[in-house]
């Protein structure tokens, strides 16, 4: 790969770039070709990183004021902005993300650095009126060493929201990126050092989940774990952290519905209905894979979405079409398995694979399916690919029942012109975020994000993350 300002095979531990004992291949999902090698970090590397993080807390990093931490993050955001095109190109080659979408991720990473840079010195404690002779106040303190385990689908955004908030609060971070997506994590760490982040404040150890990841979540020197990934791994992470009795944030999967009532502005809704299903080839935790529509609007909505699917093209990341490849051969197998499991459902429309696709790439055409049965596997399970089902409903109560009728609860949207209905539905839907007449609200870094049910617990993004990445101390001073 060209234009790298870091050696992709190295790990960052205590401010030193170290060669690993072994490496893993980096496969370009658009072509199937190996484009680099990354470190296969071990439990010993994780141990060294945790020790380095603790040393940073006991050293320069731990002594920095909130203002100084904020300035470093703000400077880092600026440096990310200056490298947007390079970061986008690296991400496109690493995870197959179409360039425009990869660019948006880099912009979001910069935005997280700016937001948390600005917020670092604005997290205040309280004074609490108490008994005569006492002054009582609260302090927000860093947890200490924070472990960050990140998936491959939005590496830059998820690193920004979790590492950015942790550093703003004065924690020292050990980051274990996904084995399929380490390059922008390393690129970011290099920029962070150049921005003035002291050695050990951010350590990056790439490696396999079962090795480096498991070692990080079980390490007794880690005081908080932030995990974003699958439900199955989330369970392991929570169980491992429980042994050390440390807090865990779990940002897991979803089966997010958009509920479209007959009075909705369909023209306004259509781009959101489709894009929320196919963005990043559907490999998005908050993908909207279920479209619930009130029956009188059913035919018009099916016609509109089908026409939009007809305009979707799938190709390599550098072609920058609407849809890129899936991350891996395994993910393609999972998604095509779901499409097979939906053979009993009418296919309303599909996207189009570009001509002359590289044979080693992992391409799947987007599928839009009709589904009368909200209990169907495709209406219940997270697919993590470009597949959406349309489910009709007849009443508001039925819409709520279907929307809440999965084990997940990440995000949901309501499309209606009726203010009363908007408010009722927003209260009744099980989700960490509810959108009214939009979907995703542009992804705002300011907006607290997280799930209920199998979608996880804890909140990242916004100011809420700063509370999550800190611990509250109450000081009661008796002075008579
Ligand atoms: P995954 O659980 O397989 O992997 C996520 C991370 O966990 C990777 O870094 C992996 O190396 C690590 N890991 C694997 N086994 C581990 C172990 N035993 N101990 C510690 N770490 C381990 O998930 P994935 O396939 O990379 O990501 C897809 C899933 O992530 C989907 O379910 C998606 O919905 C979810 N996701 C959620 C959000 C959110 O914010 N809620 C965002 C993105 C992705």
Whole-number Å distance between alpha carbons of 101 and 195 = 25
What are the DSSP calls for 284-295, one per residue?
-TT---EEEEEG
Cβ of residue 384 lying under 6 Å from some atom of ligand 1: yes
- Interval between CA 251 and ligand 1 midpoint (Å): 9
Residues 324 and 192 in one domain: no
In a domain, 4, yes or no: no
Of ligand 1's atoms, which has the minimum distance to the CA of residue 240?
Answer: 19
The residues pairing with 172 across neighbouring beta strands, listed in sequence order, are 145
Between the CA atoms of 368, 369, 372 and 377, what dihedral angle is there, to the nearest 10 degrees? Answer: -100
The length of the chain in residues reads 480
138 three-class SS = strand
Whole-number Å distance between alpha carbons of 214 and 237 = 7
- pLDDT for 3 equals 74
Number of structural domains (the chain) is 2
Cβ of residue 210 lying under 6 Å from some atom of ligand 1: yes
Residues 288 and 241 in one domain: no
In a domain, 224, yes or no: yes
End-to-end CA distance of the chain: 68
Structure token digits, residue 217: 């979540």
User: Which CATH number does the domain housing residue 343 bear?
Assistant: 3.40.309.10
Cβ of residue 282 lying under 6 Å from some atom of ligand 1: no
Residues 236 and 276 in one domain: no
Cβ of residue 209 lying under 6 Å from some atom of ligand 1: yes
Domain extent, residue 128, equals 11-252+456-475
Whole-number Å distance between alpha carbons of 30 and 134 = 65
**Neighbour tally for 82: CB within 10 Å:** 12
Q: What is the separation of C-alpha 420 from the centre of its chain, rounded to a whole number of angstroms?
A: 32
- pLDDT for 309 equals 98
Cβ of residue 172 lying under 6 Å from some atom of ligand 1: no
Is-contact 271 426, C-beta < 8 A?
no
- pLDDT for 1 equals 76
**Neighbour tally for 101: CB within 10 Å:** 21
Structure token digits, residue 231: 């439900």
- pLDDT for 127 equals 98
In a domain, 1, yes or no: no
- pLDDT for 324 equals 98
Mean pLDDT by 10 residues, the chain (480 residues): 89 98 98 97 98 98 98 98 98 98 98 98 97 98 98 98 98 98 98 98 98 98 98 98 98 98 98 98 98 98 98 98 98 98 98 96 98 98 98 98 98 98 98 98 95 98 98 98
Q: DSSP label at 449?
A: B
Residues 75 and 165 in one domain: yes
In a domain, 365, yes or no: yes
Whole-number Å distance between alpha carbons of 20 and 261 = 55
Residues 325 and 176 in one domain: no
Provide Rg for the chain, Cα atoms.
23
Residues 248 and 261 in one domain: no
Structure token digits, residue 241: 């952290």
Query: Of all protein residues, whose CA lies closest to atom 13 belonging to ligand 1?
Result: 209
Residues 147 and 173 in one domain: yes
Residues 133 and 200 in one domain: yes
Between the CA atoms of 201, 204, 209 and 215, what dihedral angle is there, to the nearest 10 degrees? Answer: -50
52 three-class SS = helix
In a domain, 382, yes or no: yes
Query: Of all protein residues, whose CA lies closest to atom 21 belonging to ligand 1?
Result: 213
b (16+ CB within 10 A) / e for 237-258: bbebbeeeebebbbbbbbbbbb
Q: Please give the model's pTM, rounded to 2 decimal places.
A: 0.97
Structure token digits, residue 397: 């109560």
In a domain, 153, yes or no: yes
Active site residues: 251
User: Which CATH number does the domain housing residue 74 bear?
Assistant: 3.40.605.10
Residues 261 and 247 in one domain: no
Pocket test for ligand 1, best of 24, 151, 159, 244 (most atoms within 8 A of CB): 151
Residues 270 and 246 in one domain: no
370, 438, 475: which is closest to 137 by C-alpha? Answer: 475
In a domain, 227, yes or no: yes
- Interval between CA 253 and ligand 1 midpoint (Å): 9
Residues 130 and 21 in one domain: yes
In this structure, are strands 367-370 and 387-393 parallel, antiparallel, or unpaired?
parallel
b (16+ CB within 10 A) / e for 211-224: bbbbbbbbbebbbb
Residues 182 and 34 in one domain: yes
- pLDDT for 71 equals 98
In a domain, 55, yes or no: yes
């Amino acid at each position: 790969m060209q234009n790298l300002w870091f050696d992709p095979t190295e790990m960052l531990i205590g401010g030193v770039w170290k060669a690993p004992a072994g490496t893993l291949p980096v496969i370009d999902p658009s072509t199937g070709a190996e484009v680099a090698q990354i470190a296969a970090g071990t439990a010993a590397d994780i141990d060294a990183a945790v020790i380095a993080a603790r040393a940073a807390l006991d050293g320069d990093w731990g002594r920095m004021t909130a203002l100084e931490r904020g300035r470093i993050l703000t400077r880092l955001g600026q440096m990310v902005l200056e490298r947007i095109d390079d970061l986008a190109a690296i991400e496109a080659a690493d995870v197959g993300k179409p360039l425009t979408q990869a660019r948006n991720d880099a912009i979001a990473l910069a935005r997280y650095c700016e937001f948390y840079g600005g917020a670092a010195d604005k997290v205040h404690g309280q004074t609490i009126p108490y008994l005569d002779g006492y002054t009582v106040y609260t302090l927000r303190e860093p947890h200490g060493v924070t472990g960050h385990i990140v998936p491959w689908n939005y590496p830059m955004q998820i690193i920004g929201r979790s590492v950015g908030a942790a550093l703003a609060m004065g924690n020292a971070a050990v980051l274990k990126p996904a084995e399929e997506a380490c390059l922008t994590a390393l690129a970011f760490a290099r920029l962070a050092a150049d921005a003035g982040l002291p050695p050990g404040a951010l350590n990056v150890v790439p490696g396999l989940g079962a090795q480096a990841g498991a070692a990080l979540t079980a390490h007794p020197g880690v005081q908080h774990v932030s995990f974003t990934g699958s439900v199955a791994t989330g369970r392991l992470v929570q169980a491992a952290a429980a042994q050390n009795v440390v807090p865990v944030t779990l940002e897991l999967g979803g089966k997010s519905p958009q509920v479209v009532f007959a009075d909705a502005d369909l023209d306004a809704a259509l781009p959101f209905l489709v894009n929320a299903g196919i963005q990043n080839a559907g490999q998005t935790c908050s993908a909207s894979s279920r479209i619930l529509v009130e029956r009188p609007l059913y035919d018009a909505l099916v016609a509109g979405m089908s026409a939009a699917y007809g305009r979707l093209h799938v190709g390599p990341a550098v072609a920058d079409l609407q849809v890129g490849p899936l991350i891996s051969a395994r993910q393609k197998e999972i998604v095509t398995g779901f499409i097979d499991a939906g053979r009993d459902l009418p296919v309303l429309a599909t996207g189009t694979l570009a001509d002359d696709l590289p044979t080693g790439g992992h391409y799947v055409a987007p599928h839009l399916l009709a589904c009368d049965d909200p209990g169907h596997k495709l209406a219940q399970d997270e697919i993590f690919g470009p597949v959406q089902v349309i489910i009709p409903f007849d009443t508001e109560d039925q819409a709520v029942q279907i929307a809440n009728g999965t084990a997940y609860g990440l995000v949901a949207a309501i499309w209606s012109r009726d203010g009363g209905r908007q408010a009722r539905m927003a209260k009744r839907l099980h989700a960490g975020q509810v959108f009214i007449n939009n979907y995703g609200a542009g992804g705002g870094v300011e907006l607290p994000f997280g799930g209920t049910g199998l979608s996880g617990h804890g909140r990242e993004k916004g100011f809420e993350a700063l509370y999550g990445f800190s611990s509250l101390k109450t000081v009661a001073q008796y002075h008579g």
